[in-house]
Structure 1
Amino acid sequence: MAVNMAISRIKREFKEVLKSDEITQCAIKLELQNDSFTDLRGEITGPPDTPYENGTFLLEIHIPETYPFNPPKVKFITKIWHPNISSVTGAICLDILKDSWAAAMTIVSTYQWKFST
């Protein structure tokens, strides 16, 4: 039952992401991997006036069966230097992906931090 709830919520959020302003501005992309709503690939573009400008950065996103009560696991596939990103694993080190996660947060919440420090 929990898996069905997680998949249902992910499908709804996926549709919302596809309609979001960030998508229409091409700042973020999100796609399914192997037709699975629990394994996603993300892409974000480096914001203007930052060292990441014009860069394209790929992310791997795994949604646990206990979503939305537990956060997605997100890591960079593209090598990047950033104080909130592990240089070894690519894992994003932010409270919203750990202790500060709340069930009201969404997949888009994981994107909204972008490259701010």
Structure 2
Amino acid sequence: MVDFARVQKELQECSRDVERSGIKVSPKSDSSLARLIGTIPGPIGTPYEGGTFQIDIALPDAYPFEPPKMKFTTKVWHPNISSQSGAICLDILKDQWSPALTLKTALLSVQALLSAPQPDDPQDAVVAQQYLKDYQTFVGTARYWTESFAKKSSLGIEEKVQKLVEMGFPEAQARTTLEAVGGDENLALEKLCSG
């Protein structure tokens, strides 16, 4: 059974330090602490700088004795993160996990992974090949994905509604969906496309 008292304590620790670290963890719903959403800022000096990346966190019943299951919900171009599923290849999320680690330390490790890719142990072989063979193209692609998927658009709500209408969505539906996702046009588009 998940140690919910510990999870509460970890959430409080993250919220106390959010201004300095930029790392946030919050429950996905009010009804359960077993599903969480983590947010990490892209590390400075990397192609991910300026982006805000969301990570889905599922706590197994044996947490903290088993690692949390984490995957990116924000699309990322990185050798150790699947560009398709968001799966993360990181030892502490597998066999190097210790109950002494916390959700915050796990997210800090994921953030560090963004700074220091390990292309010899890839999660995404295509990205790893590009990283090794054509580093400048890799950096350009990673920056483009960060701009496209991890940055809040500076467009106003009316421009976003107009963009979605131009894509063929009804104006009222586009407006309602944008409001429901806090103005994030990528999330709105995902929601509109999934029905």
AA matched with 1:17 = C
> Unpaired runs of 5+ in structure 2?
117-195
Q: What is the TM-score when the length of structure 1 is the normalising length?
A: 0.88
Q: Secondary structure at the match of 2:63?
A: coil
TM-score by length of 2: 0.54
Runs of 4+ in structure 1 off by over 2 angstroms are: none
Amino acid at match of 2:66: N
Aligned to 1:99: 95
CA contact (8 A) 2:26 2:36 kept: yes
Shift of 1:25: 2.9
The correspondence for 1:24, drawn from 10, 19, 24, is: 19
CA contact (8 A) 2:46 2:115 kept: no
RMSD: 1.3
Letter in 2 for 1:9: R
Match of 1:80 in 2: 76
The answer for unaligned runs of 5 or more in structure 1 is none
- Please say if residues 66 and 97 of structure 2, whose CA atoms lie closer than 8 Å, have aligned partners that are also in contact: yes
The structural deviation recorded for 1:73 is 0.5
- 1:86 is displaced (CA, Å) by 1.5
Aligned residue pair count:
112
Structure number with higher helix proportion: 2
**CA–CA distance in 2 between the matches of 1:44 and 1:112?**
8
Q: Please identify which structure carries the higher strand content.
A: 1
1:43 Cα deviation after fit? 1.4
Give the letter aligned to residue 7 of structure 2.
I
Choose 1 or 2 for highest CA Rg: 2
Once residues 97 and 26 of structure 1 are traced to their aligned partners in structure 2, the CA distance between those partners, rounded to angstroms, is 20
Output the CA distance in 2 between the equivalents of 1:44 and 1:106. Answer: 15
- Report if the CA contact (8 A) 2:23-2:104 is conserved: no
Q: Is the aligned partner of 1:8 residue 2:5?
A: yes
Deviation readout 1:28-85 (Å, 9 max, x if unpaired):
2221111221111111111221101111111100111110000000000011011221
Give 1:19 shift: 1.1
Percentage of matched positions with identical amino acids: 47
The one-letter code sitting in structure 1 at the alignment partner of 2:64 is P
